[in-house]
Amino acid sequence: MIRKAKIGDIKAIHKILSAYYSEGTVLPRSLSELYDQLRDFFVYTDPADGSVIGACAMHICWDRIAEIRSLAVREGNQHRGIGSELVRACIQEAQQLEVDQIFVLTYAAKFFKKFGFRKVDKSVLPHKVWSDCMKCVKFPDCDEDALLLELKRKK
């Protein structure tokens, strides 16, 4: 089941994300940051016990542009479509909020291309998006792919 994250989910989200920090596939997020950004997150809960087994955030960055970030699924639960469902939930919310574009910085370009994201040069992204990148050990030599999804507005 997918739903918006709640206060009680933060420690589980932090634990899931922490497993990916050391791999360098997601940026580190402190508990404080996660509490600050609670409203950005969707979680996928295990139907059997309600525990959080996946998380993903859709963060509004600037005028009509958002970022999908912090996508992670608990070890042993990957390749079951959970990540795809979380991304779809983020895209749907972006459309409801009248966001025109969603970008992602990722090593999993093939995964995001399934949703219509296309590779772009990082220079097309607003400078504001780079504030998080300064926390990355790879900054300024980022080797992630930048992908962008143009959303169609409902009339």
Evaluate the omega torsion of the peptide bond into residue 47 and state whether it is cis, within 30 degrees of 0.
no
For 134: left if phi > 0, alpha if psi spans -120 to 50, otherwise beta; the answer is alpha
**Whole-model pTM?**
0.89
3-class SS at 5? coil
- Whether residue 151 is predicted with pLDDT greater than 90 in this model: the reply is yes
* DSSP H stretches of helix in the chain: 10-21, 31-36, 82-96, 109-113
Q: Which option is the CATH number for 2-150: 3.30.300.10, 3.40.50.300, 3.40.630.30, 3.30.1300.10? A: 3.40.630.30
Split at pLDDT 50, 70, 90, the class of 140 is: low
pLDDT-above-70 percentage for the chain:
88
Which of 25-34, 39-48, 67-76, 137-146 is predicted least confidently?
Answer: 137-146
Split at pLDDT 50, 70, 90, the class of 138 is: low
